[in-house]
Amino acid sequence: MNIGEIRLEITPADIEEAKRIQQDFDSQKTYNKFNCDTNYIGYLGELVFDRYLKSINKDYKWIQFNKQGWNEPDFIINDKKVDLKTTFSDVMWMQDAKHEIYIYAQINKKQTLLKIKGWMSKTEIDKAKDNNKCKVIVRNTRKDYIFEPLFMNSIRELLEAP
């Protein structure tokens, strides 16, 4: 376990709400960046992380599903634009970094636990890409970069900053 890892409970009600919100959002979209049966886990991660941030009285803003594309961050934390990357994978997958900070969150297969594993700045991500310190997966026209949590910063460090 990453020393800075945060473990958060996922309830059945969280899953149902995430599925409902995702279905409503999908009905309004004109473009699918990536379509699968578990598209809702991004929102699920945000929902559970939002509850955690409230519980620790963190000053932040949650920017829920914007309808005009993927240019807005998920959260503003410490005046930084933050994207939460939620996945079942043991690594953080992403495309080009647009925001200042990326947080890696992993959901277990039973969908009962969200583990906030770590974070990287856009500068760190760009440097890792430039120095071939991450894996690259190309599928058709899509290019994903894969980052190992071992090389990420502690999430507690980010959240404990004033």
Residue-level length of the chain: 162
Q: What is the pLDDT of residue 65?
A: 65
Q: What pLDDT is recorded for position 99?
A: 96
Q: What is the pLDDT of residues 15-44, one digit of tens each?
A: 999 999 888 776 665 555 556 678 899 999
Give the separation between CA 15 and CA 1, rounded to whole angstroms: 25
Q: What is the pLDDT of residues 110-142, one digit of tens each?
A: 999 999 999 999 999 999 999 999 999 999 888
Cβ–Cβ under 8 Å, residues 76 and 56: no
Is 101:158 a contact under the CB 8 Å cutoff? Answer: yes
Lowest mean pLDDT among 56-65, 76-85, 95-104, 121-130: 56-65
Please state the domain extents for the chain. 6-160
- pLDDT over threshold 90, residue 104: yes
Fold of 6-160: Trna Endonuclease; Chain: A, domain 1 (3.40.1350)
Alpha-carbon radius of gyration of the chain: 15
**C-beta of residue 84 within 8 angstroms of C-beta of residue 126:** no
